[in-house]
Amino acid sequence: LHPIHSNMLLLLLAVLAAAALLAYLRHRGTDIRVRLYHGLSQLVEAYAHMHLPVAGFRRERFEWVIGAVPAESEKEVLCEDLRISSTTSVRIFRDRRLARTDAPAVLVYIHGGGFVLFHNNSAGFHRLARSFAQAAPLVVVSVEYRLAPEHVFPAGIHDVYEALQWCAFGEHPALDLCGPAGSRSLVVAGDSAGGNLASVVTLLAAHGVDANLKPVEKSPKIAHSLLIYPWIFLVPPAIDLPSRVRNRDAFILPTRHLAFFSTAYLGDAAATLAGDMRVCPAAAKSHAGLPPTTVFIASQDPLCDDAHEYVRILQDAGVPVRSLEYPAPHGFFTRPFLSASRDAFAQAIADIRRHALSAL
């Protein structure tokens, strides 16, 4: 067998063995299953983020271990997949009881995965979006954007910005609950690479330009930005950030894998893009006028200082910003069995209520 195939076989056997053990422990009612699941999820995610040459990357080798969830409505939450253009689709979540009288906001969620991995139907992101829809009066629109290396920069930005424009000015029964086009309260949220994209489209909206930096006639007005361990610095000298060295061997996201993701996303143009705010949100000429922002930081993450530096930049620009740091690894926000995840989610809902649902 090829070494990669051998590794995949071993991983499959490990997953099957762990699943059997989890079932047994669940039957016994012991909390050991939580610790075991945490270790298994770390193993799977570490394998999914392995270092490969971009030319040899095959997404299907990894995503089968993550799991995809169909767009099926449940007892309490309606779920629908919708294609809004030739390149962009969204998954919409809303509570069945949600009504216009609840004055709901629209939460635009952008998933992480290094611009390369995962989808809006990946199990962890589906579950998170559903949780947002259940926890507050929100219509959650989870964006499916084009991934690298098949679609390099700025394809993903085009898709996310198009989804943001649709949420602000488009027509759909779920959006209509949030008010007339142009007057909806918008929240933009994203984790990791999705945090980069969330930061970028928030800047585009504030500057009144589209993904090509061309002026637009109508620009979305964002009420709140939610950045979850955002990846802000994609190109050198980002490697000099202390957390890139301090957490270089982090189990879930070691520093060396960032180079693979950034190369896949930026392609041959990487060296010329350091000053482009669509790549590095910190490089924007002005951050004034950005919406109130909440930033979640993982201390055991190579991206820890990306978030700290961006918080400083926002504060210097007079943007209302609140940062919360947790002694946790990259990816903790989508693992609700961790106390850090549960607390961070509660803080996110509180800030969404404060900034986007203040009329309630």
Which range among 53-62, 267-276, 282-291 shows the weakest confidence by mean pLDDT? 53-62
Residue appearing with tokens 């952008």: 110
pLDDT at 188 over 80: yes
Residue 70 pLDDT grade (very low, low, confident, very high; cuts 50, 70, 90): confident
CA distance 349 to 138: 10
CA distance 185 to 163: 15
Task: Give pLDDT, residue 206.
Answer: 97
Reported as a single tens digit per residue, the pLDDT across 77-98 is: 999 999 999 999 999 999 999 9
Identify which has the larger pLDDT, 139 or 25.
139
**Length in residues, the chain:** 360
Identify which has the larger pLDDT, 12 or 24.
12
Q: Of 7-11, 72-76, 105-109, 242-246, where does the model show the most confidence?
A: 105-109
> Taking all residues of the chain, what is their mean pLDDT, rounded to a whole number?
86
Q: How deeply is 173 buried, as exposed, middle or buried, from its count of CB atoms within 10 A (0-12, 13-18, 19+)?
A: exposed
Reported as a single tens digit per residue, the pLDDT across 334-360 is: 999 999 999 999 999 999 999 999 744
Q: What is the DSSP letter of 287?
A: -
Task: Give pLDDT, residue 41.
Answer: 47
3-28 and 32-48 helices, crossing angle to 10°: 160
Contact assessment for residue 182 and residue 169, using Cβ atoms and an 8 Å cutoff = yes
Q: Which amino acid is at 93?
A: F
- Rounded to whole angstroms, what are the CA distances from 31 to 28, 116, 341? 9, 34, 17
Task: Give pLDDT, residue 40.
Answer: 45
Task: Give pLDDT, residue 203.
Answer: 98
pLDDT at 257 over 90: no
DSSP count for the chain of H helices, then E strands: 11, 8
Tell me what the mean pLDDT of segment 314-320 comes to. 98
- Rounded to whole angstroms, what are the CA distances from 26 to 23, 33, 34, 310? 5, 7, 10, 42
Residue 272 pLDDT grade (very low, low, confident, very high; cuts 50, 70, 90): confident
Phi, psi for 18 (deg, rounded to 5): -65, -40
pTM, two decimals, is 0.86
Tell me what the mean pLDDT of segment 316-340 comes to. 96
Q: What is the DSSP string of 23-74?
A: HHHHHHT-THHHHHHHHHHHHHHHHHT----GGG--THHHHTTT-B------
Q: Which of 267, 270, 330 is nearest to 296 (CA)?
A: 330
pLDDT at 120 over 90: yes
Contact assessment for residue 97 and residue 136, using Cβ atoms and an 8 Å cutoff = no
Residue 237 pLDDT grade (very low, low, confident, very high; cuts 50, 70, 90): low
- DSSP lists the bridge partners of residue 189 as 109, 226
Residue 259 pLDDT grade (very low, low, confident, very high; cuts 50, 70, 90): confident
SS3 142: strand
CA distance 164 to 88: 11
Cα first-last separation, the chain: 60
pLDDT at 126 over 80: yes
What radius of gyration, in Å, describes the C-alpha atoms of the chain? 20
Give the active site residues: 192, 301, 330
Q: Positive or negative, the Cα torsion across 192, 198, 204, 206?
A: negative
Residue 55 pLDDT grade (very low, low, confident, very high; cuts 50, 70, 90): low
pLDDT at 59 over 70: no
Tell me what the mean pLDDT of segment 272-301 comes to. 95
Task: Give pLDDT, residue 17.
Answer: 63
Strands (E), the chain: 77-83, 89-95, 105-110, 138-144, 186-191, 222-228, 293-300, 321-329
